[in-house]
Chains A and B, each alone.
Chain A
Amino acid sequence: DQQVKQNSPSLSVQEGRISILNCDYTNSMFDYFLWYKKYPAEGPTFLISISSIKDKNEDGRFTVFLNKSAKHLSLHIVPSQPGDSAVYFCAASPSIQGAQKLVFGQGTRLTINP
C-alpha cells in the first residue's frame, strides 16, 4: 500500500518556466511533509518542508503548497533552471520531530530544457 504517491514519473519543463510537482498521500496521521532532491548515485538532499498547520511555505524559488482536505501537496519551482534537473521525492512523517521515519513517494524525474 503506497501511502505517499507521486503519480508523474517524469516532467519536462522549459528553462525559466514554472515546474509543478505533485504528491498525494492517504494517511491522515501524517503531520509533516518534506521535499527532497536527488541526483544519481547521491543521497537525497532536503529542499523544503511544511507542517500540517500551514498551507504554504516559501523558500526562494521553491514553494510548497499543502491541501489537507485533499491530502495533496505540490512543489513549485519558479523560475526553473537547468540545475534543477533531478529526481524529486516527497516524503511524509507523523511528526515534525526530526528523528521520525519518513515515508517516500516514488519520485518524479524533472528535466529542465534550455
Chain B
Amino acid sequence: GAVVSQHPSRVICKSGTSVKIECRSLDFQATTMFWYRQFPKKSLMLMATSNEGSKATYEQGVEKDKFLINHASLTLSTLTVTSAHPEDSSFYICSASAGTSGNTIYFGEGSWLTVV
C-alpha cells in the first residue's frame, strides 16, 4: 500500500545549526504534503502546507524563514529548521494524500529533533 517515509527518525543538532528532514511518498505522487509538529502531550499542530512547484503555505505563527519547506518533486518535501534553538526540539511529522478520501492520508514515521 501507499507509504510515506521520513528521514531521519531522530536527529540531535547543536544550537545555531540547521537540520533538514525529508518526507517521501514511496509509491504515489503527492502534489500536496503537510508538515505537523507535536509538543509532548499536545496535539499535532499543522505548521505548513507544502505545494509541489510553488511556495509553501504557512499557518499563523509559524516563521517561514525559520522553517524552510521545499517541495521540488511529486514525491519529496523537505523541512529545514534553520538556526535551531532548544525550543525547536520537537516531534515533526509529515503527511501526504494518495487519493481523494480521508483514508488515503498517510503519515510519515515522524522525526524527533533535539537541539542541544
Given A106-B41, A106-B42: A98 and B109 interface contact (C-beta under 8 Å) = no
Which residues from 74 to 99 on chain B have a C-beta closer than 8 Å to any C-beta of chain A? 93, 95, 97-99
Chain A residues with CB under 8 Å of B45's CB are: 104
Selecting from B11-19, B64-72, B100-108, the interface stretch reads: B100-108
Q: What range describes how many residues of B lie at the interface?
A: 20 to 34
The reply to whether B100 and A98 contact each other, CB–CB distance below 8 Å, is yes
The reply to whether A42 and B109 contact each other, CB–CB distance below 8 Å, is yes
CB of A99 closer than 8 Å to a CB of B = yes
Q: How many A-B residue pairs have CB under 8 A?
A: 74
**Complex Cα gap A41–B106 (Å):** 15
Identify which of B6, B42, B93, B98 contacts A98 (C-beta below 8 A): B98
- Please encode chain A, from 92 to 103, with 1 for each CB lying within 8 Å of some chain B CB and 0 for all others: 010011110111
Identify which of A4, A43, A99, A104 contacts B6 (C-beta below 8 A): A43
Chain B residues with CB under 8 Å of A97's CB are: 100-101
Smallest Cβ-Cβ distance to A90: which chain B residue: B43
The reply to whether A46 and B102 contact each other, CB–CB distance below 8 Å, is yes
Chain A residues with CB under 8 Å of B99's CB are: 98
The reply to whether B102 and A98 contact each other, CB–CB distance below 8 Å, is yes
The reply to whether B103 and A46 contact each other, CB–CB distance below 8 Å, is yes
Chain B residues with CB under 8 Å of A106's CB are: 41-43
Q: What range describes how many residues of A lie at the interface?
A: 20 to 34
**Complex Cα gap A36–B105 (Å):** 11
Given A41-B9, A106-B41: A32 and B102 interface contact (C-beta under 8 Å) = yes
**Complex Cα gap A7–B112 (Å):** 26
- Please encode chain B, from 8 to 29, with 1 for each CB lying within 8 Å of some chain A CB and 0 for all others: 0100000000000000000000
Chain A residues with CB under 8 Å of B106's CB are: 43, 46
The reply to whether A98 and B97 contact each other, CB–CB distance below 8 Å, is yes
Binding site for B on A (CB under 8 A): 2, 4, 9, 32, 34, 36, 41-46, 49, 89, 93, 96-99, 101-107
